[in-house]
Structure 1
Amino acid sequence: MSDSPTGQPPVTPSTPEISTQPQQAHLPHNILKGFLLAAAALFLFTCMDSITKYLTSHYNVPFVVAMRYLVHCSVMLIILAPRHSTQLVKTQRTGLVILRGLALTLSSLCMGMALQRMPLAETTAINFLAPTLVALLAGSLLSERIGAWGWLAIVTGFIGVLLIARPGGGLDALGVFFALMAACANATYQLLSRLLASTEKAIALLFYTALIGSIIFGLALPWYWENKTPSTLELVLLLSMGLTGGLGHYLFTLAYRHAPASVLAPMTYLQLIWAGLMGWFIFGTIPDSTSLIGMCIVAASGLIIAVKSRPAKPVADQL
């Protein structure tokens, strides 16, 4: 998710300025700085997805995703463990924290499978259905009022996805299925992030997501290990996934310190533009007119939710 900010996935910070508190309050706002940090983060997220798409054409998906998590976890241990030690593993609702990590792990795997079979822009657009699913589920699970605007966003979001993944549109059916599964797992991750934000420290949530993905893919490594030596370029790309994703999430965390969530949420759809440009520049793929309309509709549905939803307190580790 792709680790897109639709769920603000785990951060791999590279400085000691990461907060260990569940909430941050009364932060000064610098909208322009927050905007620029978020834009840079979204660009890095798209870079990570592009690297994943390229590598999955040469290696199996579990191996590629495993490298992303192992690098991510290793960087956190090297940088954060010496200073924060027990803060990395201390939680109040450990079961839900683990479930949250499992949801992100499943989302990453499904996103990799989708990117292997589908163009970057269309895959990214379908994954952005996650905020709409969150709005749908939050009414029953979190007792949040959906309202007329929320239902409008939900309906238009699904219409947009149908236009992108329409029969005869040329997209791989299995790829569409994996993209939808990634969006559902991402929505679960977001809902759990909301539930845990008030009780868990950001640094622990970050670490557990990286650790759980590393354990799961690490244990399965003997079954999908490919006995071939990566080229220099492939090795650099394999190592860079965890770094680009981690740095992107860290920059997005900093963005939340300078601008409110209600301002940054609509900005996440800038990633659709990055994905379209990179898909064209790197892979030579351009969505057709109907798919472009569907992508715009999906973005509009998310923007409706972002603009009409009640402002929330900024949380460091809340896609």
Structure 2
Amino acid sequence: MAPRVVSNPYQSQAVKAIGLMVLATICLAALDTTAKYLTDIQRVPVAQVVWLRFLWHVVFSAVFLWPFALQPSLRSKKPGIQFIRSCLMILTTALNFVALKYLQLDQNIAIFFLMPLLVAALSGPLLGEWVGWHRALAIFAGFIGVLVVMHPGIGDVHWAMLFTLGATFGYALFNIATRYLAAYDPPAVTQTYTPLVGVLIMTPFGLMQWESPDHWWVWLLFASLGFWGGLGHWIIILAHRLAPAGVLAPYIYLGLVWMSAFGLLIFGDVPTWWTLAGAAIVILAGLYLLARERLAEGRAEKQPGTRRAGSEFDPPQ
């Protein structure tokens, strides 16, 4: 008689969450690829692309999320911090899109992988969550990896890489603000603020630099900016409802695979050894940081009354 197979609900949820995380990384890679195509190939002004990214995000949310999955609300206990957080997302998006106009997709994402390490480093002075020397070494190694990608002194450092670094710092601060707001506002409030503030601030800049596209299908690319961005971030939230951040965090690095594939297929960009080596260092540093976090969580669970601090791998809300 064959042994009876007992299903594991937690394992099933984890598999679904991982599948969602993989899909989310594809969506976000598609967002950056579309932005690069519009700014680099179609020569659409960056301000116009940033504005349309938030405008169509609002449209996507109004049509698909707000009526069925997410009740919009602007009733925040910390409206000032919500506004600042949203401005950080605008700044991050603008710097990222400028960099994408000039850099290969794989170069950009390799530098962007520094974000969890920056969150860990900045959480000390900003949130009082100081890291030990193990995590400090991981953060230092991550910076070394970024230097390998940029390889200063060996080749010309493209100025756009500095914009990617600025975007990475901005996104790290954005995540820290998200962690801070999680204690005061539900995710629905935080999700509502981001696209609406983006549209509010970027509308005059987008209209001032507006250039009508020459082809009808470019309008579809405009609309896809909000679709990829809104869907990707929503899927990340769904994934983290099914499994903890520690289980899903390693799959973030699949972004390098999708970015490299899209870059090769659409732009003919072949990843350099500098990019691959630097990305490997940053990814290994991030995985080591994750391992140390899991070890710290295990120790905290053994101590009654210990509250888990926010993770640098927690999703943006």
TM-score by length of 1: 0.85
Paired residue total: 292
CA shift, 1:53, in A, is 0.6
Shift of 1:92: 0.6
Residue in 2 that maps onto 1:24: none
Match of 1:300 in 2: 284
| Structure 1 residue 130 corresponds to structure 2 residue 128 | no
2:268 partner letter: G
For 1:156 and 1:205, how far apart are their aligned partners in 2?
Answer: 33
Out of 22, 28, 39, the position equivalent to 1:45 is 28
**Does the aligned pair in 2 maintain the 1:44–1:244 contact within 8 Å?**
yes
Where does the alignment leave 5 or more consecutive residues of structure 2 unmatched? Answer: 1-8, 298-307
CA 1:316–1:116 in 2, change beyond 3 Å: closer, same or farther? same
Structure number with greater CO (CA < 8 Å, separation at least 6) is 1
Distance 1:183 1:316, change over 3 A: closer
Q: Report runs of 4+ in structure 1 exceeding 6 Å deviation.
A: 83-86, 313-316
Hey, what does 1:268 align to over in structure 2?
A: 252
Q: Is the 8 A contact 2:49 2:206 kept in 1?
A: no
Change in CA separation of 1:161 and 1:195 when aligned onto 2, cut-off 3 Å: same
Question: What letter is aligned with 1:70?
Answer: L
CA displacement at 1:169 relative to structure 2 = 6.3
Distance 1:245 1:303, change over 3 A: same
- Say yes or no: does 1:188 pair with 2:186: no
Partner secondary structure for residue 161 of structure 2: helix
Whole-Å Cα distance in 2 between the matches of residues 135 and 110 of structure 1?
A: 22
Report the alpha carbon displacement of residue 166 of structure 1 after superposing the two structures with TM: 1.5
1:99-152 per-position Cα deviation (integer Å, ceiling 9, x unaligned): 100001100000000000100001011112111111111122211131122111
Q: Which residue type is aligned with residue 256 of structure 1? A: H
Alignment of 1:165-180 (within 5 A): 165-167=150-152, 173-180=158-165
Gaps of 5+ in 1: 1-26
Q: State which structure, 1 or 2, has the greater radius of gyration over its C-alpha atoms.
A: 2
* C-alpha separation in 2, matches of 1:49 and 1:259: 26
Calculate percent identity across the aligned residue pairs. Answer: 33
1:196-215 superposed Cα distances (whole Å, 9 cap, x missing partner): 11211111111111011111
1:61 to 36, 40, 46: 46
Aligned in 2, Cα 1:262/1:81: closer, same or farther, shift over 3 Å?
Answer: closer
Distance, in Å, in 2 between the alignment partners of 1:48 and 1:79 is: 18
Describe the SS at the equivalent of 1:233.
helix
Change (3 A) 1:88 1:28: farther
Counterpart Cα distance in 2 of 1:256 and 1:85: 16
Q: Say which SS state the counterpart of residue 88 (structure 1) adopts.
A: coil
RMSD across aligned positions (CA): 2.3
Alpha-carbon distance change, 171 to 98 in structure 1, aligned in 2, over 3 angstroms = farther
The one-letter code of the counterpart of 1:122 is: Q
- Tell me, yes or no, if structure 1 residue 72 matches structure 2 residue 57: yes
Q: Output aligned runs, 1:269-288, within 5 Å.
A: 269-288=253-272
For the structure 1 residues 220 and 142, does the alpha-carbon distance in structure 2 shift closer, same or farther, using more than 3 Å as the test? same
Matched position secondary structure for 1:210: helix
> Which deviations, in whole Å up to 9, do the C-alpha atoms of 1:21-57 show, x marking residues without a partner?
xxxxxx9661111111100110111011111110012
User: What letter corresponds to residue 318 of structure 1 in structure 2?
Assistant: P
Give the corresponding residue for 1:20.
none
| Matched residue, 1:156 | 141
1:17 aligned partner: none
Q: 1:209 to 1:151 in 2, by over 3 A?
A: same
TM-score w.r.t. length of structure 2: 0.85
